[in-house]
Amino acid sequence: MNRKEQAVMLHKRGFNCAQSVACSFCHVMGADPIQTFKLAEPLGFGMGHMGPCGAVSAMALVVGMKISDGNLDNPKTKKECYKMMKELTEAFVNKNGSMICSEIKGVETNKVLRTCDGCIEDAVALLDKYLLGIE
């Protein structure tokens, strides 16, 4: 099973979109799955109010797992993390037309731009490509 399939399977098991994306990268990043699950939980459903897409928010968690130096005394990786998130977010919006959950779900327009599973697959694919260099 590839990472996209794993993430969608987690979503079908009841993980929210953010948990599905972030937890599918735990083994690659050496992150604790339970801690990642907890951190990602409030990011689902567009941070609970159909704001920023949970799959996009989870991309930020994964970027931090990979790029952040974790140096509490003298952090030096913020700019690199911001640059990567800008690239990922732009790519996600180019593919889906928005990164706002309510817009993606067509709440006001009745035009669904992408399913949750589709957003999860896109987020995983973008992380694989931009962050890990896997096509």
pLDDT at 95: 98
Of the candidates 123, 134, 131, the residue with the CA atom closest to the CA atom of residue 66: 131
pLDDT at 135: 82
Neighbours of 30 (CB within 10 A): 8
Q: What is the pLDDT of residues 4-37, one digit of tens each?
A: 999 999 999 999 999 999 999 999 999 999 999 9
Q: pTM of this prediction?
A: 0.96
* DSSP secondary structure string for all residues of 48-101: III-B-HHHHHHHHHHHHHH----SSS---HHHHHHHHHHHHHHHHHHHS-SBH
Q: Is pLDDT of 1 > 90?
A: no
